[in-house]
Copies of this chain bind each other. A is one copy, B any other.
Amino acid sequence: MANPIQHQTIKVGLVGLGFMGSSIIASLLALRIPVRAIAPFKEEQEAGLLRIKEQLILCEKFNLLKAPVESYLELLTVSSDYAALSDCDLVVECVIEDIDIKETVFKKISSNTKIETILASNTSAIPISQLQKLVPHPERFIGIHWAEPACGTRFLEIICGEDTNERTVNTVKGWALNWGKEPTVLRKDIRGFITNRLMYAVYREILHLVENGTTNIEDADKCFRYDAGSWMTLMGIFRRMDFEGLKDHLTTLKRIFPQLSNSDEVPEQMLQLVNENAKGIQNGKGFFTYTEKESKLWAEAFSEFNGDIFHLAAKYPERLFIENDTENIK
């Protein structure tokens, strides 16, 4: 993996200063990448700037900065004028998940940028294949999906639309590696991408097991915290099978696949919670209940844990396990 500090000095444009947009901007600034941010209204710009500062303070807490927070903010311009994007190598759209709004935004982006500029969306709701039809030269359009907090996780999904070309994929993958990410490339523009889909497969099975009384939600959570959690950050899922032995796994897969839940339906308990306005830690009402203080404790713990696991993962980079730097992938 390339050293995240030795990146090319590309210029990135980012449209939308919401929660995710601000997080992405901070993660780029922390790498000393100049960012031109676009938001239409003064209030949005001010709220965004505040969030970006908070995120940079988080980067500092994670020991990702080499200079004071303020010096990173100097690399940022915030404007309502899309002309600020004219010299960008990459522009990422990060506005709300509304196709009409995105259409307006991409028209403004493409009329204010060079035709070589790579255009991207952080959407997780609208197909890339659909969005790319909104711009000239759709082959340079791609999905880039960050996880939160963008600076504190190496995860990044790169999603190809049906018109995206290989050059665009390789360029974005190269940038992502330079940003210190471990990107996953999706060749097909599937709903939920990879990571969410895999978790939804887990949710389908566990919701079914809790609904039929096999276990309860408290005990179910322990399985993933203390079992899957004990190897996941080291290995991933295919290597886990390599580690445990393929033959036994095959026998069990064959036996268990036909027994897994194939339900299309979300269980009643979850529908009822949402009908009762349960918003999880946000309003203290979810699968578990939380006082205001407890919600705050969980949010703080997640931020701290994220820093911990980020540095723990750094102790075990893939290259440590490759003898003679030979190509290790089957």
Contact = CB atoms under 8 A, between A and B. Distances in A.
Nearest to A276: B246
A184 B215 contact: yes
Interface in A25-48: none
Interface stretch (A67-75, A134-142, A279-287): A279-287
A10 interface: no
A321 to B, nearest CB: 5
A226 B154 contact: yes
Number of copies: 2
A229 B293 contact: no
Interface string A254-280: 111111111111100011011000111
- Interface size range of chain A in the complex: 35 or more
A225 interface: yes
A313 interface: yes
Contacts of A245: 279-280, 282
Contacts of A209: 190, 194, 197
Most buried by B among A195, A242, A261, A320: A242
B188 A214 contact: yes
Given A155-B230, A305-B231, A286 B242 contact: yes
Interface stretch (A80-88, A110-118, A322-330): A322-330
B294 A200 contact: no
Given A147-B226, A204-B253, 11 more contacts: A194-B206, A200-B260, A229-B229, A243-B298, A246-B270, A250-B270, A253-B270, A257-B264, A288-B330, A289-B328, A305-B315
Interface of A: 147, 152-155, 157, 182-188, 190-192, 194-206, 209, 212-239, 241-247, 249-250, 252-266, 270-271, 273-274, 278-282, 286-291, 293-294, 297-298, 301-302, 305-306, 308-310, 312-313, 315-316, 320-324, 328-330
